Amino acid sequence: MFHISDVKKYMRCRRLYCLDQFAERKPFHPFVRLDEQVSDLVAKKLGVTDPFIGSIGDDAGKAMAAMEDHDWLIKARFEYDRLRVKVPFLHRNEDGWDLYFMFIGLFPHHNDMLFYCSMVWVLDHLDIKLKNMYVVHLNSEYVRQDELDVDQLFIVSDCFYNGKNNPTMPVVKAVRSKMQNIQPLLAEMEAGFDEIPAPVRTQHCTGRQKCSYYEECFPQEIAQDDNSILTLIGAQHRYEMQNDGINYLKDADEKRIEGSRQQYAQIMADRQGGLYCDKLALQSWLKRLKYPITCIDFEWERYAIPPYPGMHPYDVLLFEYSIHIIHEDHSVDQKVYLSIHDQREDFARSLLNDIPKEGTVLAYNAEGAEKIRISELAETFPQYRDGLLAINERMEDLQLPFESGMVYDVRMRGQWSLKKIMAMMDDPGYQDLDIQQGMDAVFEWRRLDEAGELDDSDPRVQELKDYCGMDSYAMTVVLEWLYEISR
């Protein structure tokens, strides 16, 4: 028996599907926090009464039998030809049934049609007459008050949305136009494999999310030199060039590169012995920084369903910051703030208090993170708006010299994350920390938050402070290095 997730995996990559059969199941930590039983909330929204509620392991005939004497079915399990599906909501509509898909996001686009079509394919083959189809999704404009209002929280849409998030094709039409017979595919999956298929590089290997087997599939890539042509950022023809014997950045074929500033910096770095620095541009950028320079880093949790007043679906809750203040005499002060539950107002007040009233505020990826978070705080707490927005006006992005191609060191291997750059420095940096990644910090905080009290003797408190503190400390080290190479 297969589930839709198996079919999707199989379609993505046969090898991935096989490897996953033998892989040890790891605990699943969602990137977005979802504490509520969404189907219970949607049931309220839809006004469901006296439903049949399916469970894991239900016999395939149980839901079919329940259709005789229930008008609503929730999470009912149906099976046809080895494919088992969990149908979110079915509602009797005269001589047929209305199907409600659930999308725990803001705008369902018609880009996951295998999921929708597989479910309908099973129901069609069981002779269940489907009439209307809807997608229940979260309302991006909903702002939570003291209580959660499920009527406002969800939208029941009979259309998918386009790239600009406007309603477009009706769900029924989109699904019906993409229906295909998946029987041959299921038969192929059932037949299995004599051996694990060899890796074949496709867009699925590094697409939206890098495949977890990438290193296993392409170990030769990990072993590449720092100045390998494969590190050329955004180069569509890098594998082609390598196959033609062009192994290093310095030898890149000018006719087969896109010619971005980053690529220029990479090629020049290799030609100049490993480091490229556009000194004039870097000096000009560094001149904009004024002491005291405050390096800041935030940590936050993202919630699908807003848990606190004033929050929209998928809003974030700031819970930690670390700042390193570099004074003109090069002395450095550090401050860390950590809270659990909803302390946004205290966070805003404390931030205003801790950041000096003058000088530059520096963040890594400021435009994509800290500036946005500060603007959100300013909107939520208008009483602190002016002070918070003044911080944004003084903010510079430490990522800029790297992402704009002012600076490149081949040891960056085509990446410019703070950790990657820090790894080049003569500093133990992140190596000794218990928490190594931003999402690990969030998972640790989730446990603290659920425990209900912020106990300083809990080792997780210090681990979280160390991790966030390392980000703002790393910025001071990287900044110092930029000053050095600009001279």
Is there binding between residue 205 and ligand SF4 (CB under 6 A)?
yes
- Applying CB under 6 A, which of residues 80, 115, 213, 384 lies at the interface with ligand SF4? 213
Q: At what angle do helices 279-287 and 459-486 cross, to 10 degrees?
A: 120
Q: Cβ 219 to ligand SF4, closest distance in Å?
A: 11
Q: CB-wise, 211 or 362, nearer to ligand SF4?
A: 211
Angle in degrees, 0-180, between the axes of helices 370-380 and 344-354, rounded to the nearest 10 = 120
At residue 254, what are phi and psi to the nearest 5 degrees? -60, -25
How near is the Cβ of 246 to ligand SF4 at its closest, in Å? Answer: 23
CA distances to 227, 237, 319, 324, 483 from 333, rounded to whole Å, are 37, 47, 21, 6, 19
Query: What binding mask, one character per residue, do residues 16-55 give for ligand SF4 by CB under 6 A, x or -?
Result: x--x------------------------------------
CB contact at 8 A, 133 and 172? yes
| Shortest CB 93 distance to ligand SF4, Å | 41
Tell the smallest beta-carbon distance from residue 213 to ligand SF4 (Å): 4
Residue 230 makes contact with ligand SF4 by CB under 6 A: no
Q: How far is CA 465 from CA 131, 252, 316, 361, in A?
A: 55, 43, 19, 20
Q: Between residues 216 and 253, which has the closer beta carbon with respect to ligand SF4?
A: 216
Least distance (Å) from ligand SF4 to the CB of residue 241? 20
Shortest Cβ 212–ligand SF4 spacing (Å)? 7
Q: Which stretch binds ligand SF4 (CB under 6 A): 2-10, 213-221, 408-416, 467-475?
A: 213-221
Give yes or no for residue 200 binding ligand SF4 (CB under 6 A): yes
Closest-CA residue to 134 (of 156, 152, 150, 116): 156
Which DSSP letter does residue 157 get?
A: E
Sheet of strand 293-302: strand arrangement: 332-338, 316-326, 293-302, 361-363, 395-397
**Rg (Cα) of the chain, in Å, rounded?**
27
DSSP sequence for 48-109: --S-EE--TT--HHHHHHHHHH-SEEEEEEEEETTEEEEEEEEEEETTEEEEEEEE-SS--B
> Is 11 an interacting residue with respect to ligand SF4 (CB under 6 A)?
no
> Judged by CB under 6 A, which of 106, 130, 159, 211 binds ligand SF4?
211
Please choose, from the candidates 293, 318, 304, the residue with its C-alpha nearest in 3D space to the C-alpha of residue 398.
Answer: 293
Number of residues that bind ligand SF4 (CB under 6 A): 12
Least Å from the CB of residue 214 to ligand SF4? 4
- Residue 361 binds to ligand SF4 (criterion: CB under 6 A): no
Interface with ligand SF4, residue 62, by CB under 6 A: no
Q: Which of 199, 401, 405, 414 binds ligand SF4 (CB under 6 A)?
A: 199
The DSSP element (H or E) to which 296 belongs, if any, is strand 293-302
The C-alpha angle 352, 355, 357, rounded to 5 degrees, equals 85
**Which of 32, 113, 183, 214 lies at the binding interface for ligand SF4 (CB under 6 A)?**
214
Q: Figure out which of the listed residues 83, 171, 217, 348 binds ligand SF4, where binding follows CB under 6 A.
A: 217
Q: Which is nearer to ligand SF4, 33 or 238 (CB)?
A: 238
CB 28 to ligand SF4: min, Å: 19
State the nearest-atom distance from the C-beta of 438 to ligand SF4, in Å. 23
Which one, 19 or 378, has the nearer CB to ligand SF4? 19
Which lies closer to ligand SF4 via its Cβ, residue 51 or residue 199? 199
Q: Which is nearer to ligand SF4, 215 or 346 (CB)?
A: 215
Tell me the window of 8-16, 242-250, 263-271, 297-305 that interacts with ligand SF4 (CB under 6 A): 8-16
DSSP 201-270: --HHHHSSS--TTHHHH-HHHHTS-TTBGGG-TT-TTHHHHHHTT--BGGG--GGGS---HHHHHHHHHH
Q: Which is nearer to ligand SF4, 13 or 48 (CB)?
A: 13
β-pair type (130-138, 96-103): parallel
Helix axes 4-12 and 113-125, enclosed angle (nearest 10): 130
Using CB under 6 A as the binding rule, whether residue 13 contacts ligand SF4 is answered as yes
Candidates 377, 324, 376; CA nearest to 352 is: 377
Comparison of 16 and 265: residue with beta carbon closer to ligand SF4: 16
Regarding 15 and contact with ligand SF4 (CB under 6 A), the answer is: yes
Instruction: Produce one character per residue of 466-484: b if its CB has 16 or more CB atoms within 10 Å, e if not.
Output: bbbbbbbbbbbbbbebbee
Smallest distance from the beta carbon of 22 to ligand SF4, in angstroms? 12
Residues numbered 85 to 144 that lie near ligand SF4 (CB under 6 A) are none
Tell me which residues touch ligand SF4 (CB under 6 A): 13, 15-16, 19, 199-200, 204-205, 211, 213-214, 217
